[in-house]
Amino acid sequence: MKDGIHPNYRDVLFVDLSNGFKFVTRSCVQTKEMGKTDDGKEYPLFKLDTSSESHPFYTGTQKSVNDMGGRVDKFFKKFGKPTEAKKAAPAADEAKSAA
């Protein structure tokens, strides 16, 4: 292998800032800080905004589109349902064309 062309692949401590969850895995990510694990070992530190421990999809707190109502229901709530006069007008036109 050539020297100086490969990334620095090493153990890195990742910390989820939203809940403090820590895990160590191997990575090439560039870090400037060092952090300690619960057992006292020191690793390069990389801070995350979210991880599988805090993301709504993985924690089960994500709201389903089916639970929140469909798009049509949301439209009717916002703009109201069509009036009966508009519904009756197409029926009257059909009766005239059938005669």
Quick: pLDDT tens for 8-64. Answer: 899 999 998 888 889 999 999 999 999 999 999 999 999 988 887 777 666 666 655
Both tokens assigned to 37: 């694990």
Range with the lowest mean pLDDT among 45-49, 71-75, 81-85, 92-96? 92-96
Question: What's the pTM?
Answer: 0.56
Confidence of residue 89 (pLDDT cuts 50, 70, 90): low
Residue 66 to residue 86: CA distance in whole angstroms: 29
Above 80 in pLDDT, residue 96? no
Which has the closest alpha carbon to 11: 34, 19, 60?
34
Query: Is-contact 52 58, C-beta < 8 A?
Result: yes
